[in-house]
């Protein structure tokens, strides 16, 4: 019997090839998105599989209670916790601390930035990161590199024994190279430093300070057989003892709790200072997007199957008269649906292979996950479940027909008030697709706005060059001699990005209110070079800098308007000449106030900014190129760079290009555009199938109307109007919901675009255009048909 069902199902699919193609492509598109989500979900459970003894290894979390009784969970802890656990509790076998940070390393006269982790010696055994060559970094001023960082720093040469340099820690010897790190790991780094390398006074104080609960991460390996309950009970006691004599500022206190590495990912909660583990919220969102896309395809299947209900109803009537019972008929229709779904799985895999190279897919979804046998079993089971889901409603409806109903053609299916189920599904499809389009267009317009907006400083004609190891003053002197170079300035941070160093400053040396500000180092030419506006006071005074690029920090600074408001010093003119303390030993005087400009990401409103002369922190030169022949000037700039620094390639970048790359997020928008295009293609194919079937069933009506004198445009309107009404209804439903979806994204930005007619009108216009073309294509062909052919049998 099953073989008979399969044969009949295949014949039906082949007989109605257009409808079969629409259903297979639609289901394949939805399945492809779901497969991406399933792969990422599988990968989320793979996090930490390489850690040895993960069942008895824990990361300590810190639950902080603020002064207003709000609770926040931190993945980090105070650094002294690890020593207390190892020293005072016998069931603790090993502990390991991890400090995560970013630094610039000088390698063979090249300055390269990378993320690093400073770790205890037991880090390598507790977390199980294996080395491909060399020894772990345990002695002071030693490090282990990842293979990627080793190649970036030293090329194909053996890095072991070589030395890199940092401003903060001096020279660091390379003792080993890791094996290729697992992609699915909650810790990402380019190199690992030994904890004794962090020997500065600030770092030493950090390792003994119980008040700093954001300093680093603490991992604990319990002895075999040690009860986890006993370990968890001691943590609140340790926290209470450690915080007994601490006077917090904005917090009431904190306590500790343990998180097993086996439950690290997917994470059930959002942690402050979190690492790279997956969260249930992200996975649920991915799966929801996939299921919505698949639901659109299921709507198509239900739609097209019910559209052919009259012909299938006659088949049902004959089978029932021959003695078939309802469950047998349902089994036949379900087998047809499952077969179609299995075909769709094959197409979905091919689509998956096509989009796999996309950067967004590799970075956020399937990077590092292999398609194992167990995952393929899940895929096949998912496709069969999809087929059963898609076929259940048509199977139940069609198998319920009575022969008497078939003879009277009473097979209309009503949902409510005369609206058929098929029409409701068409409306739902296009409404969902239109909501996605409005949200995507809002996202794309916001990204483009951030990439091309006026930030309040000059970006046109400005060439940014990383200094690396080249002395600033020497490079500036050479660049100023080039014809076509208007001006050269220096800065520690490129505006329009992260904003620079963020710390608190005080009006008085001790005590008093503190204010959090961004601090950026600039030279005296920066204000004029970037077209910043001085509202009061004067620019930074001329400072002498030797040819090595070094110089004494200036005691004069510039502040923006927002800093004036934050300091509560009065108006800009009253602020000039007043002083404040950058730290315990550096008092500075305000030389001038610059007009507010956007120096950080658009997520934030304008923040307080302090511009100071600190030549040791200069990282970039800003070269202002005159109008006329920028290509020739750029070539001269490159030749100067090659002469001064022959070991490094020229890395200059136009400021406008930097802002565009930083904020456009093209890979993300392209992937979201792909999903939206799939949703619209599924909806349009479903509409095409419905229109095709409708025109085929009304072919004799069209012939009679043409014989009676109806014109082509009248027949097109007659056949199209019902479907156009469905598109208008879908638009009416989707416009307000799409507006809310777009605003839910835009509200995260302090400065954002509006959702007006250009967005809503454009989306509804595209909807009507795509739907109109789909409808018009089939109805125009039907209207041109020869009445003699359609009425010949009459």
Q: State mean pLDDT over 180-202.
A: 88
**Mean pLDDT lowest for which of 156-160, 257-261, 344-348, 567-571?**
567-571
Q: State mean pLDDT over 563-590.
A: 85
Query: For residue 410, is pLDDT > 50?
Result: no
* 459 occurs within a structural domain: no
Same domain, 644 and 731: no
**Mean pLDDT lowest for which of 257-261, 264-268, 608-612, 671-675?**
671-675
Last residue of a domain, one of 628, 650, 672: 650
Indicate the number of domains in the chain.
4
Q: pLDDT value at position 267? A: 82
* 20 occurs within a structural domain: yes
* 454 occurs within a structural domain: no
* pLDDT confidence tier of residue 415, bands split at 50, 70 and 90: very low
Q: State mean pLDDT over 3-31.
A: 78
Can you say whether the dihedral through the CA atoms of 584, 587, 590, 594 is positive or negative?
negative
The number of residues making up the chain comes to: 794
pLDDT tens digits, residue range 39-82? 888 888 877 778 888 889 999 999 999 877 888 899 999 999 99
Same domain, 155 and 257: yes
Greater confidence, 249 or 267?
267
Alpha helices in 453-499 (DSSP H): 472-480
pLDDT tens digits, residue range 682-701? 888 777 777 877 776 777 88
Q: pLDDT value at position 78? A: 94
**Mean pLDDT lowest for which of 103-107, 424-428, 583-587?**
583-587
Query: For residue 84, is pLDDT > 50?
Result: yes
**Mean pLDDT lowest for which of 109-118, 172-181, 635-644?**
109-118
Last residue of a domain, one of 650, 676, 710: 650
* 306 occurs within a structural domain: yes
* 771 occurs within a structural domain: yes
Same domain, 476 and 606: yes
Q: pLDDT value at position 550? A: 53
pLDDT tens digits, residue range 519-547? 999 999 999 999 999 999 999 987 655 54
Q: pLDDT value at position 547? A: 47
Rounded distance, CA 465 to CA 477, Å? Answer: 14
Q: State mean pLDDT over 581-607.
A: 88
**Mean pLDDT lowest for which of 123-132, 184-193, 317-326, 593-602?**
317-326
pLDDT tens digits, residue range 316-328? 776 776 777 777 7
* 268 occurs within a structural domain: no
Q: State mean pLDDT over 322-340.
A: 79
Kindly list the distances between the CA atom of residue 61 and the CA atoms of 214, 234, 269, in Å, as whole numbers in the listed order.
Answer: 10, 13, 12
Q: pLDDT value at position 408? A: 55
**Mean pLDDT lowest for which of 103-117, 484-498, 650-664?**
103-117
Last residue of a domain, one of 238, 263, 288: 263
Query: For residue 110, is pLDDT > 80?
Result: no
Greater confidence, 738 or 22?
738
Q: State mean pLDDT over 192-198.
A: 94
Task: Give all strands (DSSP E) within 149-286, no chain letters.
Answer: 163-166, 170-178, 191-194, 217-222, 251-260
Rounded distance, CA 782 to CA 790, Å? Answer: 10
CB 707 within 8 A of CB 715: no
Q: State mean pLDDT over 601-630.
A: 89
Q: Which of 586, 612, 22 is nearest to 304 (CA)?
A: 22
* 456 occurs within a structural domain: no
Q: Is the peptide bond before 87 cis (omega within 30 degrees of 0)?
A: no
Same domain, 435 and 525: no
Same domain, 136 and 283: no
H/E element, 105: strand 92-107
Q: State mean pLDDT over 14-37.
A: 82
Same domain, 502 and 636: yes
Greater confidence, 310 or 613?
613
DSSP letter string over 665-728?
Answer: -HHHHHHHHHHHHHHHHHHHHHHHHHHHHHHHHTHHHHHHHHHTT--HHHHHHHHHHHHHHHHH
pTM above 0.85, yes or no: no
Query: For residue 511, is pLDDT > 70?
Result: no
What residues make up the domain containing 494? 469-650
Task: Give all strands (DSSP E) within 476-619, no chain letters.
Answer: 485-491, 501-506, 514-521, 534-537, 556-560, 579-583, 586-594, 609-612
* 373 occurs within a structural domain: yes
Q: pLDDT value at position 414? A: 41
Same domain, 174 and 230: yes
Percent of the chain with pLDDT over 70: 91
CB 590 within 8 A of CB 558: yes
Q: Which of 669, 9, 687, 10 is nearest to 296 (CA)?
A: 687
Same domain, 365 and 440: no
pLDDT tens digits, residue range 269-314? 888 888 888 888 778 887 888 888 788 788 777 777 766 665 666 6
Same domain, 577 and 487: yes
Same domain, 311 and 203: no
Residue 229 in tokens: 């309950």
Instruction: Say how far residue 50 (Cα) sits from the centre of its chain.
Output: 26
Same domain, 32 and 65: no
Rounded-to-10 torsion of CA 776, 779, 783, 784: 70
Q: pLDDT value at position 313? A: 66
Place of tokens 């005074």: 541
Q: pLDDT value at position 406? A: 56
Same domain, 236 and 318: no
pLDDT tens digits, residue range 355-401? 887 777 776 677 667 777 778 888 888 888 888 888 887 777 777 76
Instruction: Kindly report the average pLDDT of the chain as a whole number.
Output: 84
């Amino acid at each position: 019997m099953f073989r008979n069902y399969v044969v009949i199902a295949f014949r039906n699919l082949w007989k109605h090839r257009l409808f079969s193609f629409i259903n297979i492509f639609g289901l394949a598109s939805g399945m492809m998105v779901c497969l991406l989500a399933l792969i990422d979900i599988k990968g989320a459970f793979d996090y930490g599989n390489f850690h040895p003894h993960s069942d008895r290894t824990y990361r300590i979390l810190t639950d902080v209670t603020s002064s207003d009784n709000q609770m926040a969970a931190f993945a980090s802890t105070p650094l002294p916790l690890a020593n207390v656990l190892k020293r005072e509790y016998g069931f603790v076998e090993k502990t390991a601390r991890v400090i995560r940070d970013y630094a610039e390393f000088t390698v063979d006269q090249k300055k390269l930035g990378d993320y690093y982790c400073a770790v205890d010696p037991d880090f390598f055994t507790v977390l199980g990161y294996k080395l491909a060559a060399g020894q772990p970094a345990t002695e002071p001023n030693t490090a282990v590199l990842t293979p990627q960082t080793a190649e970036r720093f030293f090329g194909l040469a053996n890095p072991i024994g070589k030395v890199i340099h940092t401003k903060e820690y001096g020279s660091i010897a390379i003792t080993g190279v890791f094996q290729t790190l697992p992609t699915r790991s909650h810790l990402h780094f380019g190199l690992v430093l030994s904890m004794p390398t962090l020997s500065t006074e600030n770092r030493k104080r950090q390792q003994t300070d119980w008040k700093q609960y954001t300093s680093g991460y603490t991992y604990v390996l319990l002895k075999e057989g040690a009860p986890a309950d006993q370990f968890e009970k001691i943590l609140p006691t340790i926290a209470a003892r450690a915080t007994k004599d601490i006077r917090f500022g904005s917090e009431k206190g904190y306590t500790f709790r343990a998180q097993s590495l086996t439950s690290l990912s997917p994470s059930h909660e959002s942690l402050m200072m979190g690492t790279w583990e997956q969260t249930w919220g992200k996975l649920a969102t991915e799966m929801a997007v996939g299921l919505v896309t698949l639901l659109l395809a299921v709507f198509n299947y239900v739609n097209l199957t019910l559209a052919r209900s009259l012909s299938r109803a006659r088949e049902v009537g004959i089978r029932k008269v021959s003695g078939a019972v309802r469950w047998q008929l349902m089994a036949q229709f379900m087998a047809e649906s499952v077969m179609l779904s299995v075909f769709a799985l094959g197409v979905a895999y091919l689509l998956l292979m096509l989009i796999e190279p996309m950067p967004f897919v590799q970075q956020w979804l399937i990077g590092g996950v292999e398609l194992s046998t167990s995952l393929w079993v899940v895929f096949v089971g998912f496709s069969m479940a999809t087929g059963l889901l898609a076929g259940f409603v048509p199977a139940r409806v069609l198998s319920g027909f009575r022969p008497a109903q078939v003879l009277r053609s009473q097979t209309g299916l009503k949902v409510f008030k005369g609206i058929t189920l098929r029409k409701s599904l068409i409306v739902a499809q296009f409404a969902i697709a239109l909501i996605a389009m409005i949200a995507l267009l809002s996202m794309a317009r916001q990204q483009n706005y951030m990439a091309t907006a006026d930030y309040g400083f000059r970006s046109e004609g400005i060439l940014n060059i990383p200094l690396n190891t080249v002395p600033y003053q020497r490079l500036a002197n050479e660049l100023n001699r080039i014809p076509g170079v208007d001006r050269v300035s220096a800065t520690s941070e490129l505006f329009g990005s992260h904003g620079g160093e963020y710390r608190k400053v005080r009006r008085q040396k001790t005590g008093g209110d503190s204010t959090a500000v961004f601090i950026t180092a600039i030279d005296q030419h920066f204000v004029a070079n970037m077209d910043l506006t001085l509202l009061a006071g004067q620019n930074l005074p001329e400072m002498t800098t030797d040819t090595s690029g070094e110089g004494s920090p200036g005691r004069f600074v510039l502040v923006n308007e927002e800093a004036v408001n934050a300091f509560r010093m009065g108006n800009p003119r009253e602020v000039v000449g007043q002083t404040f303390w950058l730290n315990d030993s550096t008092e500075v005087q305000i030389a001038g106030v610059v007009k507010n400009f956007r120096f950080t990401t658009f997520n934030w409103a304008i923040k307080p900014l302090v511009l100071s002369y600190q030549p040791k922190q200069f990282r970039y030169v800003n070269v202002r190129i005159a109008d006329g022949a920028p290509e020739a000037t750029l070539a001269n700039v490159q030749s100067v760079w090659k002469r001064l620094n022959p070991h490094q390639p020229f890395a200059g970048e136009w400021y406008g290009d930097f802002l565009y790359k930083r904020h456009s997020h093209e890979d993300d928008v392209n992937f979201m555009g792909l999903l939206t295009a799939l949703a619209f293609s599924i909806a349009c194919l479903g509409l095409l199938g419905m229109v095709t079937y409708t025109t085929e069933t009304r072919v004799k009506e069209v012939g009679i109307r043409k014989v009676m004198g109806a014109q082509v445009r009248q027949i097109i309107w007659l056949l199209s109007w019902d479907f156009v009404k469905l598109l208008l209804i879908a638009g009416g439903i989707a416009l307000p919901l799409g507006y809310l979806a777009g605003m839910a994204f835009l509200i995260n930005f302090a400065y954002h675009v509006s959702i007006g007619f250009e967005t809503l009108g454009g989306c509804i216009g595209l909807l009507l255009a795509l739907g109109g073309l789909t409808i018009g294509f089939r109805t125009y062909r039907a209207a041109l048909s020869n009445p003699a052919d359609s009425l010949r049998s009459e």
